[in-house]
Amino acid sequence: MSQPVWRQILENQLTENPKYTTYALSTLSPEGQPKVRFVVHRSISPSGLLILTTDTRMQKPVHLALNHTVEAAWWIEPSNVQFRITGQAYTFPLPSSSPTEVSSALQGLGLKDIEDFQGEEKEECTSEWWEEERIRLWEESMSGHLRASFARPKPGKSLEQVEHSSEWPVSLPGKSEDPKEKELIQLALTHFALIAIRPTAVEFLELKPIPNRRTQWTLQSDGTWEENKVAP
Ligand SMILES: Cc1cc2nc3c(=O)[nH]c(=O)nc-3n(C[C@H](O)[C@H](O)[C@H](O)COP(=O)(O)O)c2cc1C
């Protein structure tokens, strides 16, 4: 399948502005309230899913288990452009997840019809690919401080109920032979998850040209993208 136009535009923007990886991601709480927070873009999968990392103990995975709809707003300041990406997101199951959970995430991400894919994209339809990507991002994309956060107390828990912060691990390597570190890495990895977003609509707003430009793409049921240029 050919790549959507927006993907090339986004990838070009990221190549030109490698520091602008932060975007606001909104999920819906169980009560239906929008909840928004900043996250860091980590990678784009071969089939075009946006991948970020999270702690399974945070609220995002809880929200996504009930409602997969998300929206991201991404402002790339040097280029004066905004992407608004609407999609379906799944917390990528950990090795402990049941085959049914893996299968439903693959289905939701549009990775079930394996015959539609070729080469690297085909591998993405397997739980092994997702586990490899999780470990790759753990080892290559996380700082030591961030890795240690996954072995610290549950995010959001009252400070009165957790051990004093002087006891918390400060930094962790990606892997280690030291028994104490090994144990902490194992614990941290039980909380380290991927979230994959399958875009279903993308809006690209360009504020540099006068008049400004606004282009929308919507995913069609046959997998193609319909493009509409609208008034900004
Ligand atoms: C610049 C920046 C980048 C962040 N990146 C991430 C991220 O990639 N993943 C993540 O789970 N939280 C990230 N956070 C923390 C979230 O904004 C949020 O505080 C946390 O995920 C808890 O939110 P939740 O409980 O609603 O899931 C980041 C925060 C900032 C300010």
Going from N- to C-terminal start, the domains of the chain cover: 5-115+193-230
Q: Say how many Å lie between the CA of residue 62 and the centre of ligand 1.
A: 14
* Residue range 189-202: mean pLDDT, rounded: 97
- Copy the structure tokens of residue 80: 């004066």
* Three-class secondary structure of residue 139 per DSSP: helix
Q: What percent of the chain has pLDDT over 70?
A: 97
Alpha-carbon distance values, 34 to 29, 206, 225 (Å):
6, 26, 27
CB 196 within 8 A of CB 188: no
Of residues 135, 141, 134, 149, the one with CA closest to residue 187: 149
Q: Please give the CATH number for the structural domain made up of 5-115+193-230.
A: 2.30.110.10
- Alpha-carbon torsion 143, 148, 154, 158, what sign? negative
Is the pLDDT at 144 greater than 90, yes or no? Answer: yes
Q: What is the pLDDT of residue 1?
A: 59
pLDDT at 165 over 70: yes
* pLDDT tens-digit series, residues 146-156: 999 999 999 99
Q: Average model confidence (pLDDT) for the chain?
A: 93
Q: Which two tokens stand for residue 28?
A: 């819906």
Beta strand segments in the chain, E: 22-28, 34-40, 43-44, 50-55, 69-76, 81-92, 192-206, 213-219, 225-230
CA 71 / ligand 1 centre spacing (Å):
15
Say which residue, 119 or 167, is predicted with more confidence.
Answer: 167
Instruction: Report whether residue 157 contacts ligand 1, using a CB cutoff of 6 Å.
Output: no
The per-residue pLDDT for 95 is 66
Provide the β-strand partners of residue 217: 202, 227
Q: How confident is the model at residue 18 (pLDDT cuts 50, 70, 90)?
A: very high
- Ligand 1 in reach of 45 Cβ (< 6 A): no
**Rounded Cα distance, 214 and 230, in Å:** 6
Q: Are 202 and 84 in contact (CB under 8 A)?
A: yes
Cα–Cα dist 106/92, whole Å: 9
Which has more pLDDT, 116 or 18?
A: 18
